[in-house]
């Protein structure tokens, strides 16, 4: 089901781009093999898309509408405007908003605490919970500072989630 839904969404987006730009876009290979916090990846040179199946399952409707469009726009924009464009520049934003009719956003806001790969909970000055991976947690213990993107305060370790609380 998820594989079919993604294929249908990609096909629909490519048809919209073909109608708008009056040119053909080859259907990309795509895989559901990403893990962790990354929702999707696009490689326009190889025409390959990769998606995170855990985030797709947790946020199906939004993921299909926004994340798939986001990655397909990364395939369309350089093929139309050339490879020297910025990844999230005005050409990519134009494809997202004017061609696909989807709000252009660089980052997703999915809750990644339930993916099971971020069991280390940190807090900041604005008291938002932040979930770090084992690798980032170890780096933090060795002196690397991570900052909250909202308040810019250094993150401080609070606790580790138990296995029954996530995943």
- What is the pLDDT at residue 1? 60
For residue 9, give every residue at least 6 positions away whose Cβ sits within 8 Å of its Cβ, in sequence order, or none.
64, 65, 68, 69
Number of H helices, E strands in the chain: 6, 6
pLDDT at residue 167 greater than cutoff 50: no
Greater pLDDT, 59 or 147:
147
- What is the pLDDT at residue 118? 63
* Strand-pair category, 120-123 with 130-132: antiparallel
Residue 74 DSSP SS3:
helix
For residue 57, give every residue at least 6 positions away whose Cβ sits within 8 Å of its Cβ, in sequence order, or none.
2
Diameter of the chain measured on Cα atoms: 54
Greater pLDDT, 111 or 16:
16
The residue from 29, 71, 91, 164 that is catalytic is 71
**Could you report the per-residue pLDDT of 109-134, keeping only the tens digit for each?**
666 655 556 678 889 998 778 888 88
**Whole-number Å distance between alpha carbons of 11 and 22:** 15
Residue 2 to residues 6, 108, 139, Cα–Cα distance (Å): 6, 19, 35
Domains contained in the chain, CATH given = 2-99 (3.30.2010.10), 113-165 (no CATH)
- What is the pLDDT at residue 137? 92
Q: Is 18 in the active site?
A: no
The candidate with the shortest Cα–Cα distance to 29, out of 39, 17, 41, is 41
Average pLDDT over residues 68-85: 96
Burial class (CB in 10 A: 0-12, 13-18, 19+), 10: buried
**Could you report the per-residue pLDDT of 20-57, keeping only the tens digit for each?**
999 999 999 999 988 877 889 999 999 999 998 888 88
- What is the pLDDT at residue 45? 96
């Amino acid at each position: 089901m998820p594989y079919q839904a993604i294929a249908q969404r990609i096909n629909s987006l490519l048809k919209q781009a073909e109608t708008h730009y009056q040119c053909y876009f080859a259907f990309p290979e795509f895989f559901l093999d990403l893990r962790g916090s990354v929702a999707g990846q696009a490689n326009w040179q190889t025409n390959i898309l990769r998606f995170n199946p855990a985030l797709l399952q947790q946020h199906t409707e939004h993921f299909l509408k926004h994340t798939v469009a986001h990655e397909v726009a990364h395939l369309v924009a350089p093929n139309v405007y050339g490879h020297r464009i910025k990844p999230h520049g005005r050409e990519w934003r134009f494809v997202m908003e004017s061609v696909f009719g989807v709000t252009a956003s660089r980052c997703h806001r999915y809750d990644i605490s339930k993916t099971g790969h971020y069991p280390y909970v940190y807090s900041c000055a604005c008291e938002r919970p932040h979930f770090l991976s084992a690798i980032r947690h170890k780096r933090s213990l060795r002196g690397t500072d991570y900052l909250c993107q909202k308040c810019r305060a250094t993150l401080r370790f609070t606790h580790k989630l138990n296995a029954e609380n996530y995943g």
